Amino acid sequence: MSMRKPSSRAAVPVIEIIKVGAAWEVHWDYQEAPESSILFKRREYLSGYIDGTMDDIGIHPDHVCCASGLTGSVKRLTHDQAIRLRDALDRLLIPIVTNEFNRLKNMGDLPHLRLVTPDQE
């Protein structure tokens, strides 16, 4: 069994805005890492928040290919909608993963918790 080298930074989701013709797209995807498990654990909350945000921005449901706290692809947006969605995703997803990374790192720094493996929790 190989041990994953501890990272000094959280593997935060990648959030991109892409210009396609006259329209814009926003794509996001989580990164495989222990701290990303929080996105799975909180998926219902995150999906509801993202749905509400897209509704608030005025994004038509037909433009949403998929949208969850883990991954998403939203197409045929105005530039303003794309910027607002990206900013909302940044404010939502980045702190959740970063906080979980810090929590896991801090737990790893406690000698009496080092021997606990995920399947023992």
Burial label for 106, CB within 10 Å (0-12, 13-18, 19+), is: exposed
Note the pLDDT of residue 7.
73
3-class secondary-structure state, position 118: helix
- Residue 1's alpha-carbon distances to 4, 48, 74, in angstroms, are 10, 38, 39
DSSP state of 80: H
The DSSP element (H or E) to which 98 belongs, if any, is helix 79-108
Question: Residue 49: inside a domain, yes or no?
Answer: yes
Residue 2 falls within a domain, yes or no?
no
pLDDT tens for each residue of the chain, 121 residues long:
444 556 789 999 999 999 999 999 999 999 999 999 999 999 999 999 999 999 999 999 999 999 999 999 999 999 999 999 999 999 999 999 999 999 999 888 655 555 555 554 4
Q: Write down the pLDDT at residue 117.
A: 53
Residues counted in the chain: 121
Answer for the pair 43, 68: CB distance below 8 angstroms, yes or no. Answer: yes
CA distance 83 to 106: 34
How much is the pLDDT for 107?
Answer: 85
Provide the pLDDT for residue 5: 55
* Residue 30 is assigned to a structural domain of this protein: yes
Report which of 88, 94, 72 is spatially closest to residue 13, judged by C-alpha positions: 94
Task: For residue 119, tell me if it sits in a domain.
Answer: no
pLDDT at 3: 45
CA–chain centroid gap for 46, Å, is: 9
Q: What's the domain count of the chain?
A: 1
Domain containing residue 94: 14-101
pLDDT at position 72 is: 97
Find the angle CA(71)-CA(31)-CA(76) to the nearest 5 degrees: 30
pTM given for the model: 0.83
Please check whether residue 7 lies inside any domain of the structure. Answer: no
Q: Which pLDDT value is given to residue 108?
A: 82
pLDDT at 35: 96
